[in-house]
A and B are shown apart, each in its own frame.
Chain A
Amino acid sequence: MYDFEYQRATSTDDATSRYSAAEDARFLAGGMTLIPVLKQRLDQPSDVVDLGDLDDMRGISEEGGAIVIKAMTTHHAVNTSDLVASKIPALAHLAGTIGDQMVRNRGTIGGSLANNDPAASYPCAVLALNATIKTDKREIAADDFFTGMFDTALDEGELILSVSFPIPEEAGYRHFPNPASRFPIVGSFVAKGSDGVRVAITGAGPCAFRVTEFEEALSGGLNPDAIRDIKVSDDGLNTDIHASAEYRAHLINVMTRRAMGE
Chain B
Amino acid sequence: MLSIKMTVNGKEVSGEVEGRTLLVQFIRDHLGLTGTHVGCDTSQCGACTVHVNGRAVKSCSLLAAHVDGDTVDTIEGLADGDTLHPMQEAFRQHHALQCGFCTPGMVMSAIGIVNDNPDPSETEIREALEGNICRCTGYHNIVEAIDAAAKEMRA
A→B interface (CB under 8 Å): 1-6, 8, 28, 31-32, 35-36, 38-40, 48, 50, 52, 76, 99-103, 105-106, 181-182
Contact = CB atoms under 8 A, between A and B. Distances in A.
Interface size bracket, B side: 20 to 34
A50 B63 CA distance: 10
15 contacts: A3-B18, A5-B19, A6-B20, A6-B63, A31-B61, A31-B62, A31-B66, A32-B43, A35-B61, A39-B42, A48-B19, A100-B132, A102-B46, A102-B131, A181-B44
B62 A105 contact: no
Contacts of B20: 1-4, 6, 38
A8 B19 CA distance: 11
A99 B131 CA distance: 7
Interface in B34-53: 41-44, 46, 49
B111 to A, nearest CB: 11
B18 A101 contact: no
Nearest to A105: B55
Residue picked from B46, B56, B116, most chain A C-beta under 10 Å: B56
Contacts of B44: 181
A99 B127 CA distance: 11
Contacts of B61: 31-32, 35-36, 102, 106
B113 interface: yes
Contact of A102 (B18, B65, B68, B109): B109
A1 B42 CA distance: 12
A102 B2 contact: no
Contacts of B113: 101
Contacts of A8: 65, 68
A101 B109 contact: yes
Contacts of A2: 20
Nearest to A177: B130
B128 interface: yes
A58 to B, nearest CB: 13
A6 B19 contact: yes
Contacts of A101: 56, 109, 112-113, 116, 128, 131
Contacts of B132: 100
Contacts of A50: 63, 65-66
9 tightest Cβ-Cβ pairs between the two chains A and B: A100-B131, A6-B19, A105-B55, A1-B20, A36-B43, A100-B130, A35-B61, A102-B58, A3-B20
A261 to B, nearest CB: 20
A103 B56 CA distance: 9
Contact of A28 (B18, B57, B66): B66
B29 to A, nearest CB: 14
Contacts of B68: 8
